[in-house]
Amino acid sequence: MTHDKTGAKAAELSCPACGEMVYAGETFCEGCGHRLGDAPVPAPAATGAGAGGAAVREGRTFRTSTASLARRRAETAPPCTGCGGTSIDAEGYCEDCGLRQPADRDHVETTLPEGADPSAGGLLAAGVSDRGLRYSRNEDALALAVHATGIAAVVSDGVGSSQRPEEASRAAADTGAATLASRLDAGADPVAATRAAALAAARAVAALSSSEDDAPSCTYVSAVTHDGTVTVGWIGDSRAYWLAADDPAEEETEPGAGGGEARASERGDPGAQAGPVGLAASRRLTEDDSWAAIMVAEGALTEAEAEAHPNAHVITAWLGADAGDVAPHVASFRPSGPGTLLVCSDGLWNYHPAARDLRALLPGDAAAEPAADPLGVARTLVRHALDSGGRDNITVAVVPLPSPVRSPSTEQHR
């Protein structure tokens, strides 16, 4: 899908203190925290409401209000790093001096080293998560883990209008990756392990709820490599892609585009796929749980019409106490050659939704030599999203295939 740019250039304003671009409706500068004045900048018109009353804002997924965030942050926030004040608002700004407080999740880089010594060189996989340019905190999370015969990667995107979305995404990513690694190490089939990990993540997120009105929630996508196959599982609209090193002339049909075999799973049905689908060309491996995807699949709207609709970012499945029965999608693939497995949140794919477009962004020889620098690839993709506008949190996990030969003692490194 393309990013909804309604209001993105509402006023090409800059902070009077540091010159950083600011957006309509903002009170503080994202760059330096300077208060932008007593008179608020006129906000752009609202972009509409989602299905079932879900409020929608460009480039971000919304469901409910965040009334409890301010109370919780006031109870737990440390003093302001600038003036020492104790009045820190829900978005992380000091109400006394206006300084934005640093957050350890603003930019996170995660790597899996090739051996026991992280400084030795090669990486099996890497990921980068960034706050982006628009929002005051990072509600995405990622986790990487090794198992007996491969790599596990999980990305989760907190639902921005739920309570404590950053906690939901962290719980989902950590629980999913740990469960995948432990199940696969115990000899489980990757499809069964993927399904079990998604359900474990769902329970972990649901357990964060303290009442009916407090339901932290998030999306979830995982990918595992195992004996030459790739198995993905997902709930929501975070995605996995295969970026082939040697791309054929014709791109394979992607999920949601009308191809029969391309739709590799059906709403959590464990018997929907008899075996791994062959992968040659670059393609998307997941199909969004979203209003837009449903409209396109039913033929009610074209992809362009769905992308332009105010409901484009309304999801139809998520993890959380209010999610109902969670039915993860699971699909397996067998690449026919080397390539890069990409797992990401919509902060990246909103700008570059097609697999071929993402492959074209890979730096230098990364497309032809996928094992060379996964951290460099992840950084480059995040930078492209930032340069395109960075209007959402951006999270990217990169797993090159085939992986470098690794030591059995390889451990997760953050």
Task: Please state the rounded mean pLDDT for residues 81-110.
Answer: 79
pLDDT digits (tens, 9 = 90+) for 155-174: 999 998 899 999 999 999 99
What is the structure's pLDDT at 312? Answer: 82
Q: At what angle do helices 190-206 and 165-185 cross, to 10 degrees?
A: 150
pLDDT digits (tens, 9 = 90+) for 90-103: 667 788 888 766 66
The pTM assigned to this predicted structure is 0.73
Task: Please state the rounded mean pLDDT for residues 119-125.
Answer: 76
Give the separation between CA 37 and CA 44, rounded to whole angstroms: 18
* Region of poorest pLDDT, from 248-262, 264-278, 393-407: 248-262
What is the structure's pLDDT at 16? Answer: 63
The string of DSSP codes covering 330-346 is EEEEEESS-EEEEEE-H
Q: Ramachandran region of residue 19, left (φ > 0), alpha (ψ -120 to 50) or beta?
A: left
Q: What's phi and psi for 255, nearest 5 deg?
A: -55, 145
Tell me if 152 sits within 8 A of 184, measured CB to CB: yes
Give the separation between CA 352 and CA 347, rounded to whole angstroms: 9
Strand order in the sheet with 277-279: 140-147, 150-157, 220-226, 229-235, 329-335, 277-279
Find the helix or strand (DSSP H, E) in which 348 lies.
helix 346-349
The CA-atom distances, in angstroms, between 98 and each of 14, 33, 34, 103 are 16, 6, 6, 15
Q: Which residues pair with 231 in a beta bridge?
A: 224, 332
Of all residues in the chain, what percent carry a pLDDT higher than 90? 53
Give the separation between CA 373 and CA 251, rounded to whole angstroms: 25
